[in-house]
Structure 1
Amino acid sequence: MSDPHDQHDRPTFSRDGLAVSRAVALALAPVIVPQSRELRERIPILPEAPGPWRGATGDKSDAHPVRMLVLGDSTAAGVGVDDAAAGLGGQLARALTEATDRRVLWRASGRSGATARDLIGRYLRPALREQTTLVFLSVGANDALAVRSARGFRRDVAHIVDRVFDAHPDAVLLMSSLPAFFRFRGLPEPLRSTLYRHSQALEHEARDLIDAHPRAHMSPPPPPYTEGFFAVDEFHPGAQGYREWADFAVADALASPVADLLDD
């Protein structure tokens, strides 16, 4: 849930402020590491949604459906819901069908806790074997939690993007912005602000990379999370959260420079 006092007060950081985000996190390690440990002990561990992580929306007579791959971490894995169709993949497909009348054949690949490096090492190659016209990438939260370097994260995202278009040159890639950690009320300070600063450093690098690609687009920062957005752990989206996220991401994509490519 969001703090109503935070709704219009998104912290901003200068380029120099983002550049030192990892150093700040490491300097605060004696404080935030115990906070992180206590948080892990307190937050309930939610399972991934049961399989199969695939489905379809829209009219079966559509001869040229959108073939969508959702690739990522716990959000791709549907943590927070007990039906994959209510998770990110299913909700993105629903939102895209409702907005365009296109049939969407969707599937998801990834793992709860996965970093960008994990996706490269274990999930990317097999996920790209099937025909794909749209990739939705949701990654970075765990890289921020692990205090990965911004340079390393950029390198990993670049690798993912390159492999996607090597395998599917005519696909479109959408990447989600990172979570607005400063609105996660369950995170104590200084962990909350430190995590948000570093996540923004990672997002800055990814956005710079994605914006330079003619067939890729990155979502803007999300709007304030609504009451009921989060699952019981107050960290992952629940069914309402995934629905709102999907509606936001699809509306943004259809208003972006890659919108025409989605009709190909």
Structure 2
Amino acid sequence: MGRARRARKIAARAAFGGGLGAAGLAVGGLGTWGLLRGEAAVARRLVGNPFDGEPDDDGVYGAGPGESLQMLVVGDSTAKGLGVDDPRQTVGAIIATAVAALAGRSVQLTNLAVVGAASADLGQQVEHALERVPHPDITVIMVGANDITQRVSRTEAVRHLSAAVFTLREAGSPVVVGTCPDLGVIEPVPQPLRLLARRWSRDLAAAQTVAVIEQGGRTVSLGDLLGPEFQETPKVMFSADRFHPSAAGYARAASALLPSVLDALGHSSADTGRAPDLRRGEGIGPVSVAATRAVRDPGTEVSGTAYDGDEHGRQGRWAILLRRHRTPIPRQGASDEVEQPPPAVDEPLP
């Protein structure tokens, strides 16, 4: 079964209460599973927990006339910024600072993310966040890694994420979700667990995208965003535990999310407010196919759209795929399974 089809099935089960299923695919019996559990335990010991605490990045960033823009951040340890000492180095703080500079208004950041959180914890985080900020201007969610490491059902994980996005959209907040990172790039994780972790991570990220778009949010693929840099300069891109990003790693993630945040807020930058560019491998297609392509290309945004007055095609919800990174390299076969609309996709979208 292709990843696009798996993503559709996982998201559909999450929406309609279907059966749960394991977080990973079948791995060859109890003996293999026992081996993987043992390797996972070794990886946890190697990663350890060298940090005394997590940064508190709540506060006002930037300055300008008028009321502050209200920004929420929810999710797991990457959303919280575990691994850095300076609160200004978290993903939320970096995005808030940039938004304030480009929008000419201060940004009030409220971060309710929790270290160790999985998707099931999003409901409580969102509830508390909306008690503090009833009408956020923008919400950023980063979640998924702990669903993989805790072997949570992908269907269950997607259901909780979908519910969180729905609640936030009902409160009037645009939502940008950084999908599950590719755990296959984490050096302390041994093989074959690393290979399976990559497959599970990518499947979850694709299913997250399908569900988020259905609820009116948008996603940015984080995937193996730090993978090449980790191989070349692991001490620069990752923190002391070799699992969480360093300040440089968080800055890279923030740079991938920022254009989507700006676009959701209605503010322009060098890469917002434009139509898909066929030369960059962008376009319109079913969300499940766009999600699968985004997984392979970190920094790619997927958002919902209508085509020719219709939000759905034969394979599901229409979505726009935009490669937000600076030098996108279209991959061979990237358009496999895409239901192609008429070719004028490089014209202004509806």
Alignment partner of 1:38 out of 26, 42, 60 = 42
1:154 alignment partner AA? V
The aligned counterpart of 1:48 is 53
Query: Could you say what secondary structure the match of 2:79 adopts?
Result: coil
CA displacement at 1:233 relative to structure 2: 1.0
Whether contact under 8 Å (2:55, 2:82) holds in the other structure is: no
Alignment partner of 1:140 out of 123, 137, 144 = 144
Separation of aligned partners in 2, 1:157 and 1:262? 28
Separation of aligned partners in 1, 2:102 and 2:35? 46
CA displacement at 1:56 relative to structure 2: 1.9
Can you list the C-alpha shifts for 1:151-189, whole angstroms capped at 9, x where unaligned?
1112111111122123x22x1101002112222222211
Q: Which has the higher contact order (CA 8 A, sep 6+)?
A: 1
2:59 alignment partner AA? G
Q: 1:191 to 1:99 in 2, by over 3 A?
A: farther
Structure 2 residue runs of 5 or longer lacking an equivalent are 11-21, 270-350
Matched, 1:75 2:78: yes
Query: Could you say what secondary structure the match of 1:128 adopts?
Result: helix
The aligned counterpart of 1:6 is none
CA displacement at 1:259 relative to structure 2: 5.3
Query: Could you say what secondary structure the match of 1:56 adopts?
Result: strand
Alignment partner of 1:177 out of 175, 179, 201 = 179
Q: How much is the aligned-residue C-alpha RMSD, in angstroms?
A: 2.6
Structure 1 residue runs of 5 or longer lacking an equivalent are 1-12
Q: 1:23 to 1:180 in 2, by over 3 A?
A: closer
Which structure has the larger Rg?
2
Separation of aligned partners in 1, 2:249 and 2:102? 18
Separation of aligned partners in 1, 2:188 and 2:83? 16
Moved over 4 A (4+): 15-21
The aligned counterpart of 2:205 is 203
Q: 1:25 to 1:200 in 2, by over 3 A?
A: farther
Whether contact under 8 Å (2:137, 2:265) holds in the other structure is: no
1:95 alignment partner AA? A
Whether contact under 8 Å (1:182, 1:193) holds in the other structure is: yes
2:243 alignment partner AA? F
Can you list the C-alpha shifts for 1:126-149, whole angstroms capped at 9, x where unaligned?
111123111100111101112222
Alignment partner of 2:241 out of 233, 237, 240 = 233
Separation of aligned partners in 2, 1:207 and 1:15? 11
Give TM-score, length-normalised by structure 1: 0.81
Alignment partner of 1:57 out of 57, 61, 67 = 61
CA displacement at 1:15 relative to structure 2: 4.3
CA displacement at 1:17 relative to structure 2: 7.2
Matched, 1:157 2:142: no
Whether contact under 8 Å (1:172, 1:262) holds in the other structure is: no
Query: Could you say what secondary structure the match of 2:78 adopts?
Result: coil
CA displacement at 1:21 relative to structure 2: 6.7
The aligned counterpart of 2:3 is 14
Whether contact under 8 Å (2:147, 2:154) holds in the other structure is: no
1:206 alignment partner AA? Q
1:49 alignment partner AA? E
Whether contact under 8 Å (2:66, 2:105) holds in the other structure is: no
Q: 1:25 to 1:259 in 2, by over 3 A?
A: farther
The aligned counterpart of 1:105 is 108
The aligned counterpart of 2:250 is 242
Whether contact under 8 Å (1:115, 1:142) holds in the other structure is: yes
Q: 1:247 to 1:156 in 2, by over 3 A?
A: same
CA displacement at 1:16 relative to structure 2: 6.3
